[in-house]
Each structure stands twice: as C-alpha cells, then as structure tokens.
Structure 1
Amino acid sequence: MATVNGVRDQLVDAGIRVLERDGMPALSARKLAAETGTSTMAVYTHFGGMTGLIDAIASEAFTRFTHALTDIDQTDDPVADYMVMGVHYREFALANPKRYQLMFGTSAESLDRHHADLTVTGNASDRAEFAVSFEALLSVVRRMTAAGRIRDDGESAIAGRLWSIIHGAVLLEIAGFFGHVGRAVTEILAPITIDVLVGMGDERERANQSLATAVARVGDRI
C-alpha cells in the first residue's frame, strides 16, 4: 500500500507527465486518478483540489529548475559562470516547455498569482520556494558587480534586465522563430548578451573571452 507521501509524489509526477504531454488544459483530477490508479478524491485529500496540486507541481518544477541553475562550478570568472547558467536555463526551458510556461507564463492557468514586482520587492515571487531560483541569478549578478565587470545599478534591476533577455529568447525559440539547430544561441542570444554586458560596463574583448570560456565548459550542450 502506498504511503501518504508516496501518493502525493505519484500525483505530482503524474501531473508533470500530463502537463508536458497534453498541456495544462488536460490536468484534471479524473485524468490524474487514471494515470496513478487512485481515485479523484486523492487529489482533494492530499492537495485540497487541483489548485493545490498545480502549486505542488510548480514547486517541484522550481526545485528542478533551481538545481539546473546552481549545478555549475563557480570560478574566478563570474561572467563566464553567468553564461553557463544561461545555457542551463535555456536547456531546462526547451526540455520542459509546458512547465516553463506554467512557471513564468501569463495565462490564467499559470502561476501569475504568485508573481511579484521585482522592481519593488527585489525578488520574482511571493512564494519562498519559487524565489530561490531567482536568488541564483541575483548571486551571480553580485559577483559580476563585485568583480568590476559591470556597473552596479542595483542587483534586482540588473537581474531583471538579464532575465528579460533570456526569457524572451527562449520563449521565441520554443515557438519556433529561431529554428532548432542552435542558431538561437550563436546568432541571437550570445551576441545580445555580449552587447548588454558591454553596455553595462564590461570590455567587449573581456566579455568575448568569458563567452569562449563558457562555450568550452558546456561543450555540445548548445
């Protein structure tokens, strides 16, 4: 017999499978009961309903997303570290497009009710577990400013600018506007990232050196 936590985990895992396979509209208590061999009541018993289950799916998604952003070696080149983080960010988004849009989308089915105004709060969510992933970006921004690579315009403002670049790029790539052979990075994302970093104070030659270092570190993951 499955434990309480076992049933919860099964429902969350099934929710992730259904979300990625069939999209948000397919998420229902009936569908998840069929996926897990439980009853529809299990969703209400363990999560209070579909809203609670969707929050749990998002929490798990953010946990995996945070691991992706933080599972990098920290070196003495914070700009290269930031670029490697960007590769991991894009990789997660492209591998899990429905989860990514659940986390950061603007539709009624997304988690926009938990989004926070980072220009006021300094973070991107009013939920602590969701905010952890943004802290990974804030941390590398602090390191870039401390190293004198970019000017200090306020860590949350800088993080918001850098996030806007990669978020916009990956959404367009998910939609198919940049093809599927890697040119999104070489022709769009990498050049605009260099331009923005230089605009914020980095030397172009030094930024390009950091880019070359990052590319060498990620190998064929681009």
Structure 2
Amino acid sequence: MVSTVRDNLVAAGVRLLEGGGVSALSARSVATEAGTSTMALYTHFGGMTGLLDAVAVDVFARFTEALTEVAPTDDPVADFLMMGLAYHRFALANPQRYQLIFGAAAPASISRFRADITETGSATNRAEWAASFGALHGAVHRMMAAGRIRRDDELAVAGRLWSINHGAVMLEMAGFFGHEGHGLVHILGPLIIDTLVGMGDDRDAATLSMQTVVARLG
C-alpha cells in the first residue's frame, strides 16, 4: 500500500505537469489529483522538492526507455538515427516532460543536478538520470568504431549531436516548422545527414542508413 500511494502521487504529478507545466504542481493539486491528502505527499516525499525529484526520475526513465527500445543492428548510423527519431518523438509527444528535464526554465531543484559534459563526462551528476546521455555516447562510440565518422572526443561529439536535436525540437515546439512533420523531414533529417557527412561519413552510406530507418518504420 505504501508504494501504491507513492506511485499514485508521482503519476498524478506527471499528469499535472503534462497538462499545465511545472506551475500546475502544488502539494494540494497533486494530492487532489492522486485522490489522497497533502499529508501523504509530505510523508512520502518530504514536500514538493522531493516530489519533483521523483517526477524527474520517472521522466528520465521513460525518456531513456524510448531511446533504447530498439535493439542495435550492424548499422550504427541507422541505429543512431533511430535514436534521434525516438528523441524527437518523445519531446514532441511530451513537451512539458521534456522541458522539465532539458528546458532552460526548469526548477532549481532539477537544474542543480545538471553537469558540464565537457568536464564530467555526463550530463548529470545523478546516476539514475545519466543513462539517457550514456545511450547517446554509446551510439557515437559505435559510429566511430565502425569507421563511419572520424575519431574525435566522443563526449564532445555526443554533445554536438545532442545540440542539433535539442535545437530543432525546441524550434518545432515553438511552431516554427509547422505541425505536419516538416521539422523532421525538411530540417532535422537533412541537417543530421549533413553533419554526419561533415564528420567523415560517406553521403551515400549516410543516406542508405536513413533509408534503412524509413524502411524499419514502414
């Protein structure tokens, strides 16, 4: 029963977050949404900071699951592109969750766990949040090991590729690329291919990897 109440509070927090952003979260609103009392929230989380932390853990877990749900193949570039597509889909389908973990206006209780990847090797100093960047780092390592892109600082390259995805996603969320997949087809997809070619991949090989992804989705 204890875990059920806790899980219900986290689920309620996630629903309110997606419906109205972080500002929709309060001890009273979460307790009401979960069908319990504010005392239960303080008992299980010590307050809203603890609940926000638990919500962030839940969001990161779902995000990482989305990035890693497709089994690796013998084409590391196609696998990376599939991961990028999963990233894009998660962000557009769950904009408030995405903003919570990666947005500039995230609460201080969340943003304080962010880390400089160029110095620490991870995007966060919280182990349970780090798996998502670890998945991207792993994809970059595989592309380099296969000779598809040139050897370089793996963490820096992962950061560069993340920057492209994040920037495109944020602009699409803001409505600059339309709402019919234009951002993916006309902006992000071609930009990623151009970037991979600039990093050393053969354009025909990169295009074939993209076609492989399209075939997987078909």
Per the normalisation by structure 1, the TM-score is: 0.95
Match in the other structure for 1:30? 28
Equivalent position of 1:184 in the other structure: 183
Deviation at 1:218, TM superposition (A): 2.2
Supply the AA of the counterpart residue of 1:185.
Answer: L
Aligned equivalents of 2:70, 2:31: Cα separation in 1: 37
* Residues 85 and 108 of structure 1: CA distance in aligned 2, closer, same or farther (over 3 Å): closer
Range with bigger deviation, 106-115 or 81-90: 106-115
The equivalent residue for 2:56 is 58
Match of 2:130, SS? helix
The CA deviation at 1:152 is 1.6
8 Å CA contact retained: 2:100, 2:106: no
CA contact (8 A) 2:99 2:106 kept: no
Q: Which residue of 2 aligns with 1:163?
A: 162
Q: Deviations over 1:183-220 (max 9, x none)?
A: 1111100111011101111011111111111111123x
How far off its partner does 1:108 sit?
Answer: 4.8
Structure 2 unaligned regions, length at least 5: none
Q: What aligned pairs does 1:12-51 form with structure 2 within 5 A after superposition?
A: 12-51=10-49
Stretches of structure 1 lacking an aligned partner (at least 5 in a row): none
Cα distance in 2 between the residues matched to 1:200 and 1:143 = 14
Task: Give, as a single letter, the amino acid of the residue that structure 2 aligns with 1:27.
Answer: L
User: Equivalences for 1:1-222 in 2 at 5 Å?
Assistant: 3-109=1-107, 111-219=110-218
Q: Number of residue pairs matched?
A: 217
For the Cα contact (< 8 Å) 1:84–1:217, is it kept in 2?
no
Cα distance in structure 2, aligned partners of 1:140 and 1:186: 22
Q: TM-score, normalised by structure 2?
A: 0.97
In structure 2, C-alpha distance between the alignment counterparts of 1:5 and 1:184, rounded to whole Å: 41
Moved over 4 A (4+): none
State the superposition RMSD in angstroms: 1.0
Aligned 8 A contact 1:84 1:218 in 2: no
Please tell me the residue identity of whatever aligns with 1:157. A
- Deviations 1:47-76 (CA, angstroms, capped at 9, x unpaired): 111011001001001111111000012111
